[in-house]
Chains A and B, each alone.
Chain A
Amino acid sequence: NAGVTQTPKFQVLKTGQSMTLQCAQDMNHNSMYWYRQDPGMGLRLIYYSASEGTTDKGEVPNGYNVSRLNKREFSLRLESAAPSQTSVYFCASSEGTLAGGFLTQYFGPGTRLTVL
């Protein structure tokens, strides 16, 4: 039981390049999330998926796209990377949905992305 896994762990991109961050969970959770963490800013929600086939924008969605491929996998794509997207990206999952109230989120180990 691996919980939430993320690939890659580290990535360096040049401005304008594209890439996809992968996330998978093996806990049969309905909801999945993408956050970015920047010094002094805390965790900020980028996108959220309450179930397979549905996605919703979070606090900072600009410059990102997501795909909920199936119940297990939720990917985050940067179409044209910018230095402002240098950050640590975390994927998380939870059994319930945000509309159901406060819930326990399980986080992956993160992807450290640098955009030059």
Chain B
Amino acid sequence: TQLLEQSPQFLSIQEGENLTVYCNSSSVFSSLQWYRQEPGEGPVLLVTVVTGGEVKKLKRLTFQFGDARKDSSLHITAAQTGDTGLYLCARYRSNDYKLSFGAGTTVTVRA
């Protein structure tokens, strides 16, 4: 059973369109990270969010941490082909130092 549910599993859009991917859990996060993984490579950290309601922006990427700290979203504005990849969320539990990853959303941006 996945502790973290990511949706959708796959997403294919045209260059210039916007997209949003989601990360949800039935339990509260201590904090959450988003990674991007390109084909044949390891994941690369994009952002860490730690406060409920927090919004962070990284150029065309906007990350939001839900008020109840059970969900997060990643929104990409005007997607580019370079945004293609697997987007992973990861949660950290401070009570037992456990780090868990979701299965990811595969995003394909078509030229």
Contacts and interface: CB of A to CB of B under 8 A. Distances in A.
A35 B42 CA distance: 11
Contacts of B101: 35, 42-44
Given A101-B92, A102-B33, A102-B92, A42 B102 contact: yes
Interface of B: 2, 4, 9, 30-31, 33, 40-45, 48, 50, 88, 90, 92, 94, 97-104
A108 B97 CA distance: 22
Interface residues of A, number: 21
A99 B97 contact: yes
B103 A105 contact: no
A107 B103 contact: no
Contacts of A44: 101
B42 to A, nearest CB: 3
Nearest to B29: A102
Nearest to A45: B99
B45 A104 contact: yes
B45 A40 contact: no
Given A98-B97, A102-B48, A102-B50, A40 B43 contact: no
Contacts of A92: 42
Contact of A98 (B31, B41, B88, B99): B99
Given A43-B43, A99-B97, 6 more contacts: A40-B9, A40-B103, A42-B2, A43-B90, A109-B40, A109-B41
12 contacts: A42-B2, A42-B104, A43-B43, A45-B99, A98-B92, A98-B98, A98-B99, A101-B31, A102-B92, A104-B48, A109-B41, A110-B42
A43 B88 contact: yes
Nearest to B41: A109
Contacts of B103: 40-42
